[in-house]
Amino acid sequence: MARPDPRPPVLEAASATKAYADLVALEPLSLAVPAGQLVALVGHNGSGKSTFLRLAAGLLELTDGSITIVGEPAGSSGARAATSFLPDEPVLYDDLSVREHLAYVAALHGVVVEEADLDDLLERVGLSHRADDLPARFSRGLRQKASIALGLVRPFEVLLVDEPFVGLDAPGKTALLGILDELHRDGAAIVVATHDPTFVERVDRCIALRDGEVVHDGPATPTDVLRLVGG
């Protein structure tokens, strides 16, 4: 199991539970993620990864227990202001270009961004050549890149990422890994739900879920992940 971290948590779950009638999607889960920790959340489909991230992002209501972000209840205005969530299915407007998406999201969060900053972000995710196109018409991989850019254009203390590598080409995955490494070094708490067992080689901590329960919390190798999640 993971050793206690002396740093105060910015994401904390206490017996967090989610059930749909008789179906339990997440068994009572308790964990604390401090600032500056990079966490891989692994497990098979239906293990509870996405459920936990959506609970932490305030998109689902808990059945029992609690989740706080920077000490504020998940879903509250304070928690939302501190959390950036990259969903597994990008949510994009039909009538805004990539650049217009970025400007709109930045403005919603009170961020003033220069055109040069937007250009730099677009270049980093590999979308410079599509900046003025409508992402709603993109391929899955390009839509994913647009979603990543949207998640990074606003300030946050906690970054929650759900299956970010699905649909990305090799350059896109390399770019995203570099961005995550940089955010990690800058002190953000990052939780990445993924099916990619090799990602655990880059993280501080691996949490494995099986059927809504934590079956591992601590260091892990790709081989460990495959064994833990039944891959």
Domain ranges across the chain:
9-92+156-229
DSSP letter (8 states) at residue 136: G
Q: Which residue is listed with tokens 């000490």?
A: 71
Residue 109: DSSP 8-state: T
How far apart are the C-alpha atoms of 52 and 29, rounded to whole Å? 9
Please compute the mean of the pLDDT values over residues 120-148 and round it to a whole number.
Answer: 93
- Kindly list the strands in the beta sheet with 64-69, ordered across the sheet, starting from the edge strand earlier in the chain: 23-34, 9-20, 64-69, 72-73
pLDDT on residue 4: 58
Q: Is the pLDDT of residue 24 over 80?
A: yes
Pairing of strands 205-210, 38-42: parallel
Is the pLDDT score of 124 beyond 90?
yes
Nearest to 56 by CA among 189, 152, 228, 218: 189
pLDDT of residue 136: 80
Which residue in 55, 111, 44 sits closest to 81, CA to CA? 111
CA 111 distance to own-chain centroid: 21
> Can you say whether the dihedral through the CA atoms of 56, 60, 66, 69 is positive or negative?
positive
- At 161-209, the pLDDT tens digits run 999 998 889 999 999 999 999 999 999 999 999 999 999 999 999 999 9
Does the pLDDT at position 7 exceed 80? no
Cβ neighbours of residue 88 under 8 Å, at least 6 residues apart?
A: 50, 162, 163, 166, 193
Backbone angles phi, psi at 36, to 5 degrees: 85, 5
Between residues 14 and 225, the one the model is more confident about: 14
For 122, other C-beta atoms within 10 Å of its C-beta total: 21
* CA dist list (Å): 24 to 51, 182, 212: 11, 36, 7
Output the pLDDT for position 22: 86
Segments in the chain forming alpha helices (H): 49-56, 77-82, 98-108, 115-125, 140-152, 170-185, 222-229
Amino acid at 132: D
What percent of the chain is modeled with pLDDT above 70? 97
Check residue 4 and give left, alpha or beta (phi > 0: left; psi -120 to 50: alpha): beta
Which CATH code for domain 9-92+156-229?
3.40.50.300
Is 6 a residue whose pLDDT tops 90?
no
The mean per-residue pLDDT over the stretch 48-64 comes to: 97
User: In angstroms, what CA-CA distances link 200 with 34, 137, 138, 177, 218?
Assistant: 18, 33, 30, 12, 10
Give 67-122 pLDDT, tens digit per residue. 999 999 999 999 999 999 999 988 899 999 999 999 999 999 999 889 999 999 99
> How much is the mean pLDDT over the chain?
92
Q: Which amino acid is at 215?
A: V
Q: Determine the average pLDDT of the residues in 55-70.
A: 97
**pLDDT score of 3:** 57
What pLDDT score was predicted for residue 31?
A: 95
This prediction's pTM: 0.93
The CA distance from 180 to 176, in Å, is 6
Taken in order 163, 83, 179, 3, is the CA torsion positive or negative?
Answer: negative
* pLDDT of amino acid 21: 87
User: Is the model more confident about 167 or about 152?
Assistant: 152
